[in-house]
Amino acid sequence: MSKRTSDKARFAALVQPHFDALYGAARRLTLSPSDAEDLVQDVCLKALESIDELQAMEFRRAWLLKVLYHKFVDRQRAKARSPVDQAVTGADSFGPEGMTGNEFGPDEQVDRDAHAARIMRAMSILGEQECGLLALRDIEEYSLEELQEVTGLPKGTIKSRLHRTRSRLGRLLSNKELQKPLLRIVDSEK
C-alpha cells in the first residue's frame, strides 16, 4: 500500500467519527455553509499533516475542535484587516441580563447573523489559544478535567484563564477595551 493510500485510510478512520461535530462547530462560527466547509477543510488538512500525532491522541475530537477554533481566528483576521474597529460598532446587546427576544427586528435571521458576526469578530481578537480554550468549554461543553487532558495545564490555570477570557470577550462586546494603545515603542538602551 502506498504512503498516500495508507495516510488517507488512516485519516478517514481517525477523523470521520468526529466529522459531524466538526461541521456543526464550523456552522456555528460561520454565516454560510460554504464558509463552514472551507473551515472544516482547513482543519482536515492540518489533521492530515499531523496524522501521527493525531493517532497517538486520546482526545482526538477536542484536538480537532481546538484546531478548528484556531483556524477560525486565522480566517476572521484575514477577512477583517481591522477586526477591533468592526467589533466595537453597534449597541451592546449581550448585557449581563442575557439576550432578550425583543432585540431582533422583523428580519430576525439577518439580525441574528449580524449578532453572530459581531461575536465572531470579538472572539478573533482574543487570540488563538484563548479563543480555543473558551470555546471548548462554553460552546462545546468540555469539562475542566477534559480540558486539563487536552491542554496539559493545571485546573486552576484553566479556570483563571477561562474567566479572564470571558471577561475580555464581554469587554470587547461592550466597547470598553478599544481605546488602549496596542504597543508602545521604548528605548532598549537602559
Partner 1 sequence: MNCNEVAERIPALASGLLPADEHDACRSHVATCEDCADALRGANALQFLRKRDTGTAPEGLFGRILDDVTRTAENDFAKRRFWMGTAFGGAIAASLLVAVMVLGVLVRPGEMAPTRAEFYVSTEEARTMHIAIEADQALPGAEISILLSGAVEVDGTGGRRELVWTDDLESGINRLSLPLLASGVGGGQMVVRLRHPESEQMFVIDLPLDT
Identity of the residue, 96 or 105, whose beta carbon is nearer to partner 1 in the bound complex:
96
Binding mask 97-136 for partner 1 (x = CB under 8 A): -xx------------x--xx--xx-x--xxxxxx---xx-
The helices-and-strands tally (H runs, E runs) of the chain is 10, 0
Name the one range near partner 1 by CB under 8 A: 13-21, 52-60, 61-69.
13-21
The reply to whether 8 sits near partner 1 by the rule CB under 8 A is yes
Rg over CA atoms, the chain: 19
Q: Binder to partner 1 among 4, 52, 91, 105 (CB under 8 A)?
A: 4
> Least distance in Å: CB of 24 to partner 1?
4
Going from the C-alpha of 39 to that of each of 49, 51, 85, 106, 142, the distances in angstroms are 16, 18, 24, 30, 21
Count the site residues for partner 1 by CB under 8 A: 73
- Of 103 and 106, which has the nearer Cβ to partner 1? 103
Site string for partner 1, 137-166 (x = CB under 8 A): xxx-x---------xxx-----x--xx-xx
**Contact between 60 and partner 1 (CB under 8 A)?**
no
Contacts 24+ apart (CB under 8 A), 139-143: 139/25, 139/28, 140/25, 140/62, 140/65, 142/62
Q: Does 45 bind partner 1 (CB under 8 A)?
A: yes
> Residues 35, 37, 111, 146: which binds partner 1 (CB under 8 A)?
37
The least distance separating partner 1 from the CB of residue 152, rounded to whole angstroms, comes to 6
> Does residue 23 belong to the site contacting partner 1 (CB under 8 A)?
yes
Q: Which is nearer to partner 1, 78 or 106 (CB)?
A: 78
Say which residues have a Cβ less than 8 Å from residue 99's Cβ, sequence separation at least 6: 93, 115
Say how far apart CA 69 and CA 133 lie, in whole Å.
Answer: 9
